[in-house]
Structure 1
Amino acid sequence: MKGHLFHSRRNQVRLVRRRGELVIRKEYRDEETLLTEQRTLLLLHSRGVDSIPRVLWRKGRCLYLNYLPGENYAELADAAETDAQIPLSAAMKALCDWIARYHAMTGCLRGDVNLRNFLYDGMICRSVDFEEPLISGPVEEDLGPILAFLLTYLPALTPSKLAAGEAFLRQAAVHGTDMEALESAYLRELDAMYLRRGPDSLPILSKAKDAFRRIRP
């Protein structure tokens, strides 16, 4: 595992051995992004947010962070398509719980809710990549896009993803989530996906819009 390069669109993230332990070395393209993530992680820890990276030290354009175990949710959803033993529904419930706790502690949006930014180890959800400045906002604005990512990752709208999406919404209801606001955020994210992915995505995104009402508790 040492030397493993993690997926990142903007920075180089690698598992390395330093000072006798395995840690994450994250090399940033620019100073501003490094400082934003460093400040955000320190602030979130001060507010009691758990299951996120801890800044160990800085060297040049690199932050060294403690390693968090678990498989990212994008890979988990993909694996669940061929392995019925993968607990995708349980994982999505844990993710919903994490987002609910995060909002209760911070009142801020998680922001970048790409499923690769969440990890699941079979029991606990953790979150990584805090490169965007914190802004306030309701929990539904995070939950809606998370559901949109889950259902539209290829292969999209499969039975395992729909079942996991339903479990996610049921857990959101347990936390008192406004389902109308969640649906609105979900639909806005689908519209944003169309702009990013282009006309070829329209058939899947249209079906995804209809899917919400089928899995809503």
Structure 2
Amino acid sequence: MNKKIDIILQKHIDSYSVKKKFYSKKNEVYLIDVEKSDGQNMLCIFKKYIECTGNKSKETFLLKILRENGLSVPRIYFEGVDYVLLEYLAGDTLLDTIINLEKNQGESFDYERNYIVLFNVFKWLQSLHRITKDTMGRGYIFGDMNFRNFIINDEVYGIDLEDCNCRGYKEQDGGRFCAFLLTYAPIFTKWKLLATKQSVEIMTEEFGYDIHLLKNEIEKELSEINKRRGIKIPYDVIEKILY
């Protein structure tokens, strides 16, 4: 941790230690252990925004609005112009959850167990859209559907709101979700095809996603992944997950 960040933390916290630095392309993000006035220790996330302070303003504004309206997001402990101290959320990332589900189930796909996880993710996204539409007049989408941006414990938490925006539609989030699910290693497995098909069913039947828009967004995102990562997309993947 650099001296500037130490100076920031010392303004707010008497005693702390850095436990871990997280990988981030956009920011400096640390897990810190804070000693409270009662002698108890508390884990927190310190985030220093590097690229754009506008991202910080948007993210903290959304965190406050969403939390006030009952959506599961981290609590803000304190903030400055380009930094914020957030609640640390114990639990597994959605990526770790998916990896473990597939590893434990193998070829035996557990529809009921997987339904609970997938449904709760889409319920969170639907709540994000509804709350922002009700409070600000326009529904927001999540934007960055990296599975590391969701924490699963007793419920689903969204933890990185920098890419949230009101310019898109929910099928964009859905398309990215499906494309990401299919292409996390190991890619395009039977289990992942079934999980993606189940995701499509949940989105369209439970949350009113338009199947044609969703299909277009899945194809678009798979094409982008092919360009970025050189992953060959099976010719029949859309047929297997949609029909």
User: Same fold by TM (over 0.5)?
Assistant: yes
Distance in 2 between the 1:92 and 1:159 partners? 17
TM-score normalised by L of structure 1: 0.83
Deviation at 1:151, TM superposition (A): 0.5
After superposition, residues 150-169 of structure 1 pair within 5 angstroms as 150-169=181-200
| 8 Å Cα contact 1:30/1:61 also seen in 2 | no
Task: Give aligned-pair identity as a percent.
Answer: 27
- What does residue 57 of structure 2 align with? 35
Letter in 2 for 1:27: K
5+ long unaligned stretches in structure 2: 1-17, 133-138
- Find the partner of 1:17 among 33, 41, 47: 33
| 8 Å Cα contact 1:88/1:160 also seen in 2 | no
Distance in 2 between the 1:181 and 1:190 partners? 14
| 8 Å Cα contact 2:71/2:124 also seen in 1 | no
| 8 Å Cα contact 1:108/1:137 also seen in 2 | yes
Superposition RMSD in Å:
2.5
Distance in 2 between the 1:216 and 1:68 partners? 34
Greater radius of gyration (CA): 2
Distance in 1 between the 2:180 and 2:222 partners? 9
- What does residue 116 of structure 1 align with? 148
- What does residue 96 of structure 2 align with? 75
Distance in 2 between the 1:103 and 1:58 partners? 25
Q: Relative contact order (alpha carbons < 8 A, sep ≥ 6): 1 or 2 greater?
A: 1
Distance in 1 between the 2:155 and 2:59 partners? 22
SS at match of 2:166: coil
| 8 Å Cα contact 1:147/1:186 also seen in 2 | yes
TM-score normalised by L of structure 2: 0.75
- What does residue 95 of structure 1 align with? 121
Distance in 1 between the 2:23 and 2:115 partners? 24
Distance in 2 between the 1:145 and 1:187 partners? 9
- What does residue 214 of structure 2 align with? 182
SS at match of 1:21: strand
